[in-house]
Amino acid sequence: MIQQLSINVKGQGLYPITTAVAPLVANARDAEGLCTLFLRHTSASLLIQENYDDSARVDLENWLNRLVPENDPLFTHTLEGPDDMPSHIKAALTATTLSIPFQRGELMLGTWQGIYLWEHRHHPGARTLVVHL
């Protein structure tokens, strides 16, 4: 089964999406399997990260922004603004695909794990997530 989800973002940041994916798994015909998530964009990414303490996500985002700063004079791909090339680099350093096993209609995530869409651009909009079970 393949479905697409539209995830609205307000700009740069980590957006929890576990609650958007979990019902698709719960309604799957198969009792167990693999949930593959694919983000159809080159300036955002997916990750599994701590879902208990928000400061972990804040620290992660601040660290990546220091690693890949905007307005680097070496960047030539700036057609859509100063966050254009940094967003592509951040997506290349992270992932656009995740695979998570499921059993008895539940994702087999750890106690403190959540699924996140990591938006690397400043602009609001919608991102398309393909879910394959």
How do residues 35-72 score in pLDDT, each as one tens digit?
Answer: 999 999 999 999 999 999 999 999 999 999 999 999 99
The tens digit of pLDDT for each residue in 112-125 reads 999 999 999 999 99
Please report which confidence band the pLDDT of residue 31 belongs to, taking 50, 70 and 90 as the band edges.
confident
- Residue pair 118/9 in contact (Cβ under 8 Å)? The answer is no
Contacts of 43 by beta carbon, 8 Å cutoff, 6+ apart = 84, 87, 88, 90, 91, 120, 121
Classified as helix, coil or strand, 130 is: strand
Domain map (residue ranges) of the chain: 12-119
pLDDT exceeds cutoff 90 at 84: yes
Cα end-to-end span (Å), the chain: 5
| CATH 1.10.10.10 for domain 12-119 | no
Indicate the pTM of the whole model. 0.94
Please report which confidence band the pLDDT of residue 30 belongs to, taking 50, 70 and 90 as the band edges.
confident
